[in-house]
Structure 1
Amino acid sequence: MTERLPHFDLSAATPEQKGVLDEILSGPRGNLNGPFLGWIHSPELAQQAQRLGAFCRYRTGLPLRLSELAILVTAARWQAQAEWHIHYPIALEAGVAEADAEAIRQGRRPAFADADDALIHDFASELYDTKRVSDATYTKAVDRFGHQVVINLVGLLGYYALVAMTLNVFGMRAVGQESLPFAE
């Protein structure tokens, strides 16, 4: 997986590590693909992060297509190889247009057919580019999705930035990943 982290041996896992892994495997993810085998070296962080991640991925109030679009924007901004590899097929299955995903991967703004897609992309891009969101973009997002979902969107973007940082710092790849979507 990576030379930056010690090999994780499940047979030598602490009770805390086993608890985290059991919760991940019995939850909606059902696998350890992504940052989890990196985070497991800090079981308390792993537990807190995976629970936040489950909320951000499955319970933000956004349709799956929009959540996955936001994740792709994050993966592309951070050039997170494994994050893109894992979420690209999920995003396509959820309804993100392949041409839109490819434009995002290449760092271009797609010509979105759907106004919600454009709003999510613009919100995320503005936040990543300027470290803020303009009043105009914020108002559009709140008018469309409500305050709670916008708060959850910010959480989703922050969580997947954490995932991307973890994957990048430790050089982690997705299970079965043979090609890289971004130049190293």
Structure 2
Amino acid sequence: MGETGLITIRDAELNDIPVLKEMKRRLQEHMEENNKRLWGMSGQYIQNLDAFYQSKIGKGSSRLLLAYDSGKPGAPVGMALGRIIHNEEQVPNKSGRIDDVWVEPEHRRMGICEILVKELIEFFKKNRVFDLVLEYAIYNREAEETWRKMGFSPSIIISTARIDEVKI
């Protein structure tokens, strides 16, 4: 856990699940606003978020973080999830996945995302994970710029179409 200036980072706890779910909802809403073709979260998916976040909190194979603005006590202003993924069908067969990175709009461009990712990088290094992957929605300019500046580059594109839009 770390503190940088007025930003404090801590590991999420079980009682944080409601706020994690709310930030995940805002993240999804933000992505859908930037890309109208993005598929939404189903009611079942939202219902399963409790169990999903429960399975990540306090586990050695993941780290779920919350960021707080120490100058403004109260609700967290950001979150990030790092997971160690084992997949024997690919090389590297052990990688780090960065998910659910969200910073509240009024707290962007303050370095909070970088602080969260730095904490995840330390977690991955400690666990001897050296290859990272993350996903972001195309047309989300903030995400594209942020991840590019941190050294991430696109390696795969997933395309969607409604069946009546396919031209064959």
State whether TM-score is above 0.5.
Answer: no
More helix by share: 1
Larger fraction in strand: 2
With the length of structure 1 as denominator, give the TM-score of the two structures. Answer: 0.30
Higher relative contact order (CA 8 A, sep 6+): 1
